[in-house]
Amino acid sequence: GVVREYWWEIVNTTAAPDGIERIILSVNGSVPGPTIIADWGDTVVVHVTNKLENNGTGIHFHGIRQNYTNQNDGVPSVTQCPIAPGESYTYTWKATQYGSSWYHSHYYVQAWDGVAGGIQINGPATADYDEDLGVLFLSDWMHETADQEVILAELHGPPTLNGGLINGTNQYNDTTTGTVTGTRFETTFVTGTRYRIRLVSGAADSHFRFSIDNHTLEVISADFVPIVPYVTDYVDISMGQRYDVIVTANNTVDNYWMRATIVQACSENDSPDNVLGIVRYNSTSTADPTSTAWSDALAVGITCADEDVSKLVPYVAIDAAEDPTNTTDFTVALYQSGGIGLWEMGAKSFVNQWDYPSLMQIAQGNNTWGISQNVYAYPEANKWAYMVIQTSNQQPHPMHMHGHDFFILGQADGTFDAATADLTYTNPPRRDVVMLPGDGYVVIAFYTDNPGVWLMHCHIAWHTTEGLAIQILERESEIPALIDSSTINTTCASWDNYASEDD
Ligand code: C2O
């Protein structure tokens, strides 16, 4: 492989992706930021300079395994100090997987003010196609900055988003004034061509059901894991998830709607059916499509669903061991503290420690784990570890683990019962974000093949800050040797206050 090098500046600017101008935080001024494009086996080097005035930052490469490179995982308070204003940090990692993903700031909710973008890693595909259209970045959007919304949320519950964007653009329909602003995403199809579309959800708190009227989707990967292809009218994409799909241009009428319908049961969004793009067979047409949605593709009122895990059969089969002796049970629950809703996972709520990240603590042998960090230790190498994550709250959570593609052994409604649960050990789905169903559970397994401190958390934007996270401390004794010693002898600058850029 070769080295792919990027130079980024995290900047505070203004933009109007849906025609409504607001402050954004971004990589190099655009929403989404530049797509990282590499080939399987390449080394990716990203130099990040923080040009913000009041905020730290840190860039996480979502789903990238970071084998033996934990210090490049980009999580302030866990793997590094926040990058202070004016400072830089260089991330280096190897593309050991291929497929589609995204990067995003992992500092408070900065990702959803715009510090996010696509990752495309070229490699083999499990079905043929003619043209790769690259990452189609699906996001939700709001007209206040996310930090203002979080402050409001602490007072009033989760904020409500104002629709969404496809590759950073969309129309917004102000229902109080009847004014429509902004521009829809458009792409042109040539009849007979097979297109690969890399669906990536960078949403804050919206669950998408993606479809293209009159076109089926052939799904070839889930997150970074190639799967045996299946054909469907639509895919359900939760926050942080990805699906690569192949679409055959087998129609002839001029225009069709591309829909990222927001499933209201697992979203906080007041504009569920207006995240639309246009597929044109006639590139000179400027008319809106008149096509109708597949039945169910528009079902905004449906129950929240992960894409059916029984369909996500990994192309390269790996079995999980059937000996869950190393099992931890985690209960996810909401509680009130001082009038603010907080989450806990296991018996505790996660609290960020921006000024003394976990990796620094390990490197300095000054380990003050535990009180607030919600740490679970997996000391032994190459062992299966199992987690039962249960919630009795009705809200579903897209659970994401860093440093691993985990195995989904079971996912169901109700209360887990080891005696009756239907668990799959033979080539179960592997991915890095799974939906924990409301009032339900997931059982996952991972193999301890990657020393480091890996965050596991709900990918709803506000939930990590609200405590819904644990740290997986994997093979602690091997971690100090992995860390660049020139970077450990510091305590973080005091960029531990969440200051609004527009204050
Ligand atoms: Cu998209 Cu902690 O990750």
- The pocket around ligand 1, CB under 6 angstroms, is made up of 60, 62, 104, 106, 240, 400, 402, 455, 457, 459
Assigned domain for 333 exists: yes
Bridge partners for 60 per DSSP: 104
With CA atoms as reference, report the closest residue to 104 among 201, 14, 39, 244: 201
Q: Is residue 306 part of a domain?
A: no
Q: Is residue 301 part of a domain?
A: no
The rounded distance, in Å, linking the Cα atoms of 385 and 448 is: 7
Q: How far is CA 288 from CA 53, 107, 186, 247, 405, in A?
A: 42, 39, 11, 21, 40
ipTM score of complex: 0.99
Digit-coded pLDDT (tens) for 413-453? 999 999 999 999 999 999 999 999 999 999 999 999 999 99
What's residue 145's pLDDT?
83
pLDDT tens digits, one per residue of 202-214: 999 999 999 999 9
Using DSSP, state whether 503 is helix, strand or coil.
coil
Residue 420 lies in a domain: yes
CATH assignment of the domain containing 354: 2.60.40.420
Interval between CA 384 and ligand 1 midpoint (Å): 23
Number of domains in the chain: 1
- pLDDT, one tens digit per residue, over 262-278 is 999 999 998 889 999 99
Instruction: Kindly indicate the confidence band of residue 499, based on its pLDDT and cuts at 50, 70 and 90.
Output: low
**Domain around 393:** 327-487
Tell me phi and psi for residue 359, to 5 degrees: -60, -35
Per the DSSP assignment, residues forming a β-bridge with 246 are 196, 218
Structural domain contains residue 52: no
CA dihedral 329, 334, 338, 340 (to 10 degrees): 130
CA of 459 from ligand 1 middle (Å) equals: 6
> Average pLDDT over the chain, rounded to whole?
92
For the CA of 240, the closest atom of ligand 1 is: 1
Hey, how many other C-beta atoms are within 10 angstroms of the C-beta on 380? 12
From CA 128, how far away is CA 420, in angstroms rounded? 41
- Whether 383 is in a domain gets the answer yes
> What's the angle, vertex CA 427, arms to CA 375 and CA 207, rounded to 5?
60
- pTM for the structure as a whole: 0.96
Nearest CA to ligand 1 atom 3: 62
Does residue 32 have a cis bond before it (omega within 30 degrees)? Answer: yes
Tell which residue, 85, 87, 117, has the closest CA to residue 102. Answer: 117
Cβ neighbours of residue 467 under 8 Å, at least 6 residues apart? 342, 343, 344, 345, 348, 349, 350, 351, 374
Tokens of 54: 């009041």
Kindly give the distance from the C-alpha atom of residue 79 to the centroid of ligand 1, in angstroms, as a whole number.
13
Residue 143 · residue 159 · CB < 8 Å: no
The yes-or-no verdict on residue 497 having pLDDT over 60 is: no
473 domain residue, yes or no? yes
**How many Cα atoms occupy the beta-carbon half-sphere of 273 within 13 Å?**
8
Residue 204 · residue 161 · CB < 8 Å = yes
Instruction: Tell me whether residue 445 is in a domain.
Output: yes
The C-alpha atoms of residue 429 and residue 82 are separated, in whole angstroms, by 34
pLDDT in tens, 178-233: 999 999 999 999 999 999 999 999 999 999 999 999 999 999 999 999 999 999 99
